[in-house]
Chains A and B, each alone.
Chain A
Amino acid sequence: MTPPGIPDEAKTPRVSDSPDVPKSSAAGETGVRRLHPLTFVVGAVRELIALLAAGATGLAVGGLSTAFYFTLVGLGIGLVFHVASWATFTYALRDDRIELRRTLIGRSVKTIPRDRIRGVDVSTSLPHRTLGLAVVHIDAGSEGGEAALNAVSRREAERLRRVLLDRAADEPEGDAAPPRRVLARMRRRWYVYAPLSGAYLLTPFALAGSLLGTLYNLGDDLGLITRERVETVGHEVVGLPAAAVVALAVLALFALPVMSVIAFSLFNWDFTVEERNGSIVAERGLATRRSVSLERRRLRGVELADNPLERLGGVLRLGALVTGLGDAAHRGRLLPAAPRPVAEELAARVVGAVPGPLRPHPRAARGRRVVRAVAPPGAVGLLAVAAGRPWIAAACAVLALLAVPLGLDRYRQLGHVTDGERLSVRSGSLKRRQVVVEHGAIVGWRFRRTLFQRRLGLATLDVAVGAGDGGYPAIDMSEQDAVAFAAEITPDWVRPFLEK
């Protein structure tokens, strides 16, 4: 086996340029290709590591026990499986489509028309990188679904990305290297923003949990974990002096932000947004380097998100609204955390300036926001009173009180504006979100009015967009403003239906 760590760069290009493949690859060549031969090695690496670790432990503990033989057999089966799946899989790039073919017992052919491809996503994990390989994900929107080439050489991945996303720019391409322009790059000190986002605070727990789970299962399989040993550990923990426990807890509390910075850096290391002929390419990651290409003409807007902590720090997360992009929350990410001016500048370079300032919504909307924030804990509290649970009722009362400022802030964050080319709507407090959408991307308007909204003269206007979530609401506008807003942006659609 090839353990990760041995650089294989020298061998890679030769292997990938197998004889049946023309060296200069035009956009329309028709060669049938296989995945990279080293693929099965990578495919097996994960199992290998786990199995070898288990085998070594088994050897150390119980000699050449049955567990060890099982490990060997499992290893063999895994290798055979990976070799077989490598041998039976081919792909071919045709003029108008890409075909993925698997022939084992049955035969399956997946065809993706090239004009349906919306994004090509190249990722390299650590073992992939040491072997000079990369995984290519092809995203074809809702009609074609997804396909993965796991794995090809990195040169082939770059070529596929270029060719598959480049149908518009086929003609000028070929002579010069494609123009590259760095639009934004993560600065060192931005990694410190990680604890603000909250999500990364929990990652260490998830990692530790899965690690402990794996260790436990492994130990359990090998008979290392017995009832007595677990009990001993338990007694030792209980037996610790209270001061030590408190110290440990405090340590953990201080360690959390540090851990979150580490986790954040792992995922977002050297986050770079580049422009390469007609596509926006976002690259990130330390151990697994991931690069996502977004076709520029499908990029119809951006989303600026933050939470109250990030707002205090002046930090934003920037995402792209791309038509027909699956898993948009992860793939559409343009900046994981950056100061507001930087994020807004990148937004301006990608879709155009963020319109502003936002127009606030009418006062009648304020009461509605507060009521809707207070209602859930209030209702639970009333139920608890009826059921005779004073403690739960008290907790709910506190929550309901805290919900009042939350509702007020939710009202303050509401806003909408258009600058003639792009519109922007904003809502939310704990997870505030401002969306900027090109007028051309709008596919419809939906006005919603509940009985209560009708009494207050309010309406929620949903901007239907064929990208991102599909619709973005401007919550509780005044009724006339909602109609006027839609009529201002698309007069031809709305005017025929206005009251004379």
Chain B
Amino acid sequence: MIKNLNYILILATIVILAAVGIAFIFGTSFSWVKSETDALWRQTSLYVDYVEIMNKTVGPMVIALVVVLGLCIPKRLFSGVRLLQLMGALTALTAVLSVAIGVRLGISALLLVAMLMQLIVIMMTIFGSKRLVYEVTGFYIQVGSALLHMGLILFLFDLVLVGDGLAERTLHLNIFWVATVFIGLGMVFVFYSSELSGLVRRRQAGS
């Protein structure tokens, strides 16, 4: 059940990423064609229209990506029917808030919940809790996965805040740097977990 759910979430992520890629190809082609006909088109209202079209195209995909990311978080803490119930509740909450107070704030709420959950996941992972559900084994890969997801959530949260002009430049950049550190560390831990654990084992054996 959980393994299939993971597979479905991964496939969903790949499909959304591919769709985002195609949207960017469209954007690039459009820019290219426009630049050939009018070198100064970025100074015209056409560019504003173009950005609006891109926002309308990429926006839903980014929202879908955020929802998939948000749904990835509780799978560490819950399993089975409870996980599905929680996922359903989170999706419903996001949808209701998006309708009631706007898509940006709805998505921000989902990201905030995901952030809090992920903080718990990070703490539990570091302290070696056996209650967490990971499809991968190994301390470093689990810590890395937790940090990476936290970094991505923070990064998206930061972008959503800025998109609505809710954050000051300094706050925005501070959150950005924290997200960058989380993403960087997370990637190193995920991709080099066996090397890291080998290094630690050798150090422990040597001391």
Answer whether A and B are interacting partners.
Answer: no
Q: Please list the residues of chain A having a beta carbon within 8 angstroms of any beta carbon in chain B.
A: none
Q: Please list the residues of chain B having a beta carbon within 8 angstroms of any beta carbon in chain A.
A: none
